[in-house]
Chains A and B, each alone.
Chain A
């Protein structure tokens, strides 16, 4: 007894089979090598994410050459502040101090970025200055050594 197969089915099955196999083969070549190593992502991306350049060296790098400042800073209230907080990114200067200088900021506006009076800061966290009253017109570092602020210059 011959089993009747409607003529549409074999042709359609073939068409779908061809398409699906094409897709699977293509997929095999397109999925990146390291995909799935640690999870649903490209394992090599973990390495890609370590590639960006470092711009801030960390103060240990500064101390290699500037031990005098390290000692000075450790004695006063700015001891916990890292060098690059004020001086900006130091990597270029660390790599070649003659070729690349580092920022030497000063001025009421600059020191004020931390010390300006603001109701949002706790007095116990930081000394706050009313810039409109305290020695108006003078640069802060005329009196305060930024590395040892209470060592007054006058």
Chain B
């Protein structure tokens, strides 16, 4: 008799233990599931918002208008707290000199900030021109593709920006940019590059480089606004992007770009 009672008692203990375990598993599973589901909205790549009300920024640089004064590079460093040393540039100007013997001489002394001095005599020059360079704010940006943590991204306005609080400094983005626009800021120790003066754009001001260009060689505008002067310029001129075969979706269009330019 006592055997069956204790057997029944054991049954009761076993079933209550089973229930407890079942409840605990459900609770654990639910917690796990919740944290997993909540996190998966972050793990899965969120769709790009197609907010038509925002501008979609593009840039035009007219090679024929650039006189190599270097004001753009100087103003950029001043506006954006870039160190003055000749190793860090958000924008710079190059001078290409194609000589009569076919060789191409390219220089960018201190990024062009102090201007250019002609060293090759006119008799040897076939043609020469200045090419300002800056971030191309690519729409299929290879630098954002490779960032392992999501510290660089394309903003809803099409401006490629860097999250200085999140960047881990792995330098993969610097390697991935085909245009050499990126660098590691020596003081902040995170990636840094031209932001199209996003802080100015949001206040209705032009980027610093465009503000100070004396000839209007640099232009920016809303690619969505088909009636703007900017889009009209694109329509009326033959423009090219750098490294088109790399399919970066570059939004920096050069007018009168010559084949020697990389």
Give residues of chain A (69-84) contacting chain B, Cβ–Cβ below 8 Å.
80-82, 84
| 8 Å CB contact of A21 from B28, B81, B164, B198 | B28
Expressed in whole angstroms, the Cα–Cα distance for A50 and B75 within the complex equals 18
| B154 in contact with A54 (CB, 8 Å) | no
A54-B199 contact in complex given A21-B28, A122-B64, C-beta closer than 8 Å: yes
Expressed in whole angstroms, the Cα–Cα distance for A80 and B164 within the complex equals 36
Give residues of chain A (58-109) contacting chain B, Cβ–Cβ below 8 Å.
58, 80-82, 84-85, 88-89
Task: Tell me the number of A-to-B contacts counted with CB atoms below 8 Å.
Answer: 158
| A48 in contact with B115 (CB, 8 Å) | no
Expressed in whole angstroms, the Cα–Cα distance for A55 and B212 within the complex equals 12
* B2 interface hit (Cβ, 8 Å): no
A interface residue count range (under 10 / 10 to 19 / 20 to 34 / 35 or more): 35 or more
Chain A interface main SS type: loop
Q: Which 9 A-B pairs have the closest CB atoms?
A: A45-B163, A41-B153, A120-B128, A40-B150, A85-B212, A36-B42, A119-B128, A24-B35, A114-B69
Residues of B within 8 A of A (CB): 28, 31-32, 35-36, 38-39, 41-42, 45-46, 48-49, 64-65, 67-71, 75, 78-81, 95-97, 114-118, 120, 122, 125, 128-130, 150-156, 161-166, 195, 198-200, 202-203, 205-206, 208, 211-216
- 30 A-B contacts, Cβ less than 8 Å apart? A21-B32, A24-B35, A25-B31, A25-B35, A28-B38, A31-B39, A39-B45, A39-B48, A39-B150, A40-B153, A41-B152, A45-B153, A45-B161, A48-B164, A49-B155, A50-B202, A55-B78, A55-B79, A56-B79, A56-B212, A58-B205, A88-B78, A89-B75, A113-B69, A113-B70, A117-B118, A120-B95, A120-B96, A125-B65, A126-B67
